[in-house]
Structure 1
Amino acid sequence: MSRGVHVTLLVIVLGMVASGIGMMILSGAGPAVFGAPGAVMPDFHEVLPRRPHGLGARLMIALLAVHAGAALYHHFVRRDETLKRMW
């Protein structure tokens, strides 16, 4: 199960990167992000990759919570050395 969560986290991170780059390219936010004088951030509500980016963010938060919960479960309930091995 842990391997599946780790792989899913990596896939979501790559998806977040791809959708973030897509949002920046399609919206023209590059100058504002990289500090061009007088540039303002565009409205992202009309950009197509906005929904997958938001869904990826929510999935990542949920998986991180499950991951942390599993680590605490192994440490406090099962009392094995899993948490120590992570360091």
Structure 2
Amino acid sequence: MTKEEIYTELKSVLVKSFMVNEEDISLDANLYEDLDFDSIDAIDLAAKIHNVTGKQLKPEQFKGVRTIGDAVNVIDELLRSA
């Protein structure tokens, strides 16, 4: 998957599973400040990432994720570490 494909898939998950408006999603969007995520949402998102990638995210990998771009980079690293 390319980063663009990861971003597209992540956007789809955010819209379908978290009812985020697609217009609010950008690489710079902050999950907590712009999209009103809380820690439970972050855990749910990590689970959705596992469903899409088939790989388990370690909590420390997701800890530094603040923006959509951060999430794309973490997923990209996860897929490359196969």
**So what's the TM-score if we normalise by structure 2?**
0.34
RCO comparison, higher one (Cα < 8 Å, 6+):
2
**So what's the TM-score if we normalise by structure 1?**
0.33
Q: Which has the larger radius of gyration?
A: 1
- Structure with more helix by fraction: 1
